[in-house]
Amino acid sequence: MNTMYRIPALCIFLVFPLHIPAQISTSGEPVNAEAKVEYPRIEIYTQRDTGNPDAGNDRWTGPDGRTVYGGKADYRPCIVRESIVLDEKQKEAVLNTSLRWLPYFGEEKENITLRTYFEYMEYMEVFRSLFPKDMNTYESMTAKPGDEFFVETLLTYRRSPPNSVTVLWLDEFRWYVDDVYYSSGFALDTFVQGGQKEVLTEGEIPDFLDLYWPFQYKLSEGLPYLQLPENKNLLPETGAVLGYALSPGMPNTFSYDAKVMVSGCIGDSKIYTDRARLAALLLQAKAIDWDELQHHIPGSSHPDRQVVTLTVWCRGHRYRILDPGYNEPESAAAVFAQKVKDLLGPRKNNAER
C-alpha cells in the first residue's frame, strides 16, 4: 500500500517500553486495560440524549412578564458507539457490499464494492480514480441557501449533523467511512444489530467528529485537493495531542514520558490506542481553562518528589501543565490528567498506579 493511505508514523520515543494502552470508561477508570481492539469490526456513532426525561422543559419569564417555555430542562447529549467484531463469513459478506457513488461532485462513476475499495488502496493512481478530480461542483452546490440545500454526504456534517456515522475497520490500518463519497445505503448498519453499546463522552456529534482523526482523514482520503477549507487546522499535523510524564525522583523511582499522536500512535511501538476514546478525551479537554492552569504555581503531589507533566492539545494550542492535581486534587484538570494516565501510563507490574 502506498504510504499516502497509511496512518502517518508520527511517534515519540519513550523512556521505557510501552504497554497496550488502557481503555477509558466514562468514569475515567481503566476498562480491561490489557485488551486489544479486535478486527475486522463495524462501529456506528450516534448522539443520544441521556438527560432525565421527567425533568420537564426549561421555562423563564420574558420581558413582557409572560412565561416562556424552552427545550428540555435536563438535556445531556452524549456520543454513543455501537460496535461488533465480524467473523469470517460476515467479513466476506461485508466486502461484497455494493457502494453507490454520491451525485454531488460533477462526475459519473460506477458503483463499486468494499472489496474493490480496499484492493485499490494498494495502488495510489487507481485509488485516486475512485474520487472526484476536484471539489468545485460540491462547493457550488453547498453554497446555496439552506432551503435549497439537499446534499446528503458527511462532508456537510456541521451544517447538517448526521443521525449516525458508520465506520468499517478492515484492520488497524485500513478503514472506510460510509456516506462521504460512496454510500452503502445502510447495508453496513444491518451487521451491527445487537452490537456492544457504550457511552464515550458527553458532547454533540459535530464536535466529536471535528476531533476524530479517522473521520477527518477520510473526508479527503489524504488527497490535498479534496480537503475543504473548513476542515483545515481542526487537528495538528505533527506533535503530541496528549501526553503524561513522570519525572525522575528519589533513588529507585520509575519515570516515563508517554505521548500519543493525532493518528492514535503511541510511542515507537506501533501500538495504536482506541482512536474514538482519544477523540472523546480531546473533546473533554475543551471544557477546561488550560490558559489559566499554565499560570498556577507548580508543586509535587508525588511522595517521591516526582513531577507530573500533562501535555494536552486544545483549540489549536499545545499546553504543558505541571502537577495539575497539586493544588486541587479533585479539580476537572486533575480528573482529566488521571484519564490521560490511564490511557498512557505504565501497567501495574511496571510502576505504582
H/E run at residue 99: strand 98-101
How confident is the model over 218-249, as pLDDT tens digits? 999 999 999 999 998 899 998 899 999 988 88
More confidently predicted of 328 and 42: 42
Record the cell numbers describing residue 270, joined without a space.
506501533
- What's the pLDDT at 18? 30
What is the model's pLDDT at position 213? 97
| Banded pLDDT at 202 (limits 50, 70, 90) | very high
Q: What pLDDT band is residue 252 in, cutting at 50, 70 and 90?
A: confident
The pTM (predicted TM-score) of the whole model is: 0.82
User: What is the 8-class DSSP label of residue 7?
Assistant: P
Comparing 347 with 301, which gets the higher pLDDT? Answer: 301
Element holding 312 (H helix, E strand): strand 308-314
Q: pLDDT class for 23, splitting at 50, 70, 90?
A: very low
Question: Read out DSSP for 26-86?
Answer: TTS-EESTTPPPPSSEEEEEEEEE-S-GGG-EEEEE-TTS-EEEEEETT--EEEEEEEEE-
What is the domain partition of the chain in residue ranges?
3-20+236-344, 28-52+71-231
Q: Give counts: helices (H), strands (E), the chain.
A: 9, 18
- Rounded CA separation 349/353 (Å): 9
Q: What is the CATH number of domain 3-20+236-344?
A: 3.30.1560
Confidence of residue 147 (pLDDT cuts 50, 70, 90): low
- The yes-or-no verdict on residue 32 having pLDDT over 50 is no
Q: Is the pLDDT of residue 281 over 70?
A: yes
